[in-house]
Amino acid sequence: MSAVLAIGPHVFEILPLSLQKLSERTKMNWPATKRFGVGPARQLTGRDEDTFDIEGVYYDQEFGGHAEYLALKATQSAGEPVELIGWAAGGGAASVFGTVVILEVGAEHSYLHTTGIGRKVEFDVKLAPFGGDGGPFGGLF
């Protein structure tokens, strides 16, 4: 298996759902507090929401992928948290990064087929940690 990442039951491999880019964001809140006679100072008030973005591509006419994309959207619509799992290069052990929710799923279809599905479909998925309790999600990679 050439899997790289799994969101619940959805496995991203070389084909059909090809993972192209991973982005993560960890945010901290540092609001400015005004002070008399000097410039404002910042004070840490805690952690903000972390996000994890996935970008990929599939070529439905050649390799499939649209059914898997629709299944990912169905998982999002179910509104249930899922596990985010990654694999080390070379078939190493899996790492469970934690429980996440699927915030957004989108796609851009190019070179439309008569079915209305693009011959090339670039998709993206936006995830966020379910618990928000500072688990392993922050600083994922």
Tell me whether residue 121 is in a domain: yes
Tell me whether residue 80 is in a domain: yes
Tell me whether residue 141 is in a domain: no
Tell me whether residue 134 is in a domain: no
Range of the domain at 122: 5-26+46-129
Residues 106, 110, 113: CA angle, nearest 5 degrees: 110
Tell me whether residue 61 is in a domain: yes
Tell me whether residue 35 is in a domain: no
What domain count does the chain have?
1
Q: pLDDT tens, position by position, for the chain (141 residues)?
A: 466 888 999 988 777 888 888 888 888 999 999 999 999 999 999 988 888 999 999 998 889 899 999 999 999 999 999 999 887 656 567 778 889 999 999 999 999 888 888 999 999 999 999 985 555 544 453
Tell me whether residue 137 is in a domain: no
